[in-house]
Structures are given as C-alpha cells and as structure tokens.
Amino acid sequence: MEANSTPSCLHMRAGVVADDATAPLPVQAFAGDPLADGRTYYLFDETLGYGAGISLSGPRDGDVTLAHTEFTVISEGELTLVQGDGTSVTLKAGDCAVLPAGISMGWKQAKPVSRTFMVFPGIRGGSSAIVKIDPQSDLVASDGPARALLLTSPPPVAQSRICFEDPSGEVQAGVWECTPYSRKSLRPAHSELMHILSGAVTFTQPSGRSWTVRAGETIIVPAGAENAWSSDVTVRKVFCIIG
C-alpha cells in the first residue's frame, strides 16, 4: 500500500462518498484479509498503521477468522455474526462495532451490505469478542477542546465513554457528546472516524474546503488534515481514534 500524499477528510453519506473530489486509492487489501472482496480504500496511513474506506459485499453464509482488527459502521443492510460461544451480534444500518483480530465467527448476510471501515493490521487484544457500541451509553464528564482554540464562549461541556481500547492505547472507540462550540483550525496528530448520532458539525480546512456532517453520516479526519470545527447544536457521536 501507498500512503496518501495530501491528507483530506473522507465524508460518507448513505454508504457512498459524499464528496465527488475524493478518489479511491490504487491499493491492495492487507494480506490475509478474509473480507477483502468489495473493499475500496480511500485513506491509508503507514505511520499510524491503518487503512479506511467503504466495503460493498454480497450475500455470505460461512465462517470467517479475522486477520486484523476492524472498526465498522453499517451504512445499509444487515448482517449477523455468530461467535464461538454461540452468542450472536446483529448489525443493522447505523450500528457500529469493533471486530477484534483473531476472532472466528459465522458471518451471515442474506442481502448486500455497505459499511464504512477502519482496519488496523497491527492491533491485537483489547477484546476477545465483538464490541457493539451502544449509542445510548451513559457518559461521564471529559475534557473538551483546549480553551486556547475556542472561538466561542462559554466553554462547551463534553462527556464521553470509551467502549474499546487496545492494550497499547493506540486505538480507542466509544461515544462522545459536546455542547455547541467553534474552534480555531488545528492539525491533528491522530486519525479519527466519527459517526454522528445527533446534531451536525462543519469541518473547514484552511483552503476553504468544508464538510458538514449530519446525523447518520460518517467522516474520517486523518492525521495531518488541518481543520476548524463549528457546531451550532449539541453533537453526539460514535468515535474511533488511532494515534
């Protein structure tokens, strides 16, 4: 795989890329990926160690052993994953889950499924079972944006809950909520997938290019993609961060 030369946000709406200017990468799937068919990569970061994009897969009914940890957001369709202990996890449109490396499971889907994914080939551990993110998770107070970056007052109130963390702490996934605010542009050192549960937020790059992401939509902000944040209402999101 080859890394992106210019970091840019990846905005998905209804299972497709929302920005016509975003092109897929001419890359191959990670070695040993049993879910490689149908994957289209739009982001790849060799330094942080992940690839991201959209998967379109047809009907499947068989066993799968995952070679890599994956964070997935179901855009359209439905699938059921049967774990080794017999418990099953059904994922429908809007559901988010961590599929840990090494897990063997039955994969059942009767119709095509579209999903946004982040794959982490170097991440193992953190869970021995599928972690389905509960969007209604009880949250606790957490740090909001740095006050030096804020363009609005009073400071916003943030809450969050981490639902998955790998042993190294490099990858975290959970739920985050924050009251409205605007902040100056910053260049993140980490990459983050955000699936918006409620509210809306606009990301704007110094060039003027912007993305407004609303409830039910997903955006991935890669490391180095300088952007400003502006939200006029409280935003609640599922997140997955690496870095």
Supply the CATH number for residue 61's domain.
2.60.120.10
Write down the mean pLDDT value for the chain: 94
Do 18 and 127 fall within a single domain? yes
Q: Is the pLDDT of residue 171 over 50?
A: yes
Q: Are residues 114 and 193 in the same domain?
A: no
Total domains, the chain: 2
Tell whether 171 and 107 lie within a shared domain.
no
Q: Could you tell me the sign of the dihedral formed by the alpha carbons of 219, 222, 227, 233, in that order?
A: positive
pLDDT at 3 over 50: no
Q: How confident is the model at residue 5 (pLDDT cuts 50, 70, 90)?
A: very low
- 105 and 161 part of one domain: no
Domain containing 221 equals: 140-242
**pTM, to two decimals:** 0.95
Domain for residue 194, yes or no?
Answer: yes
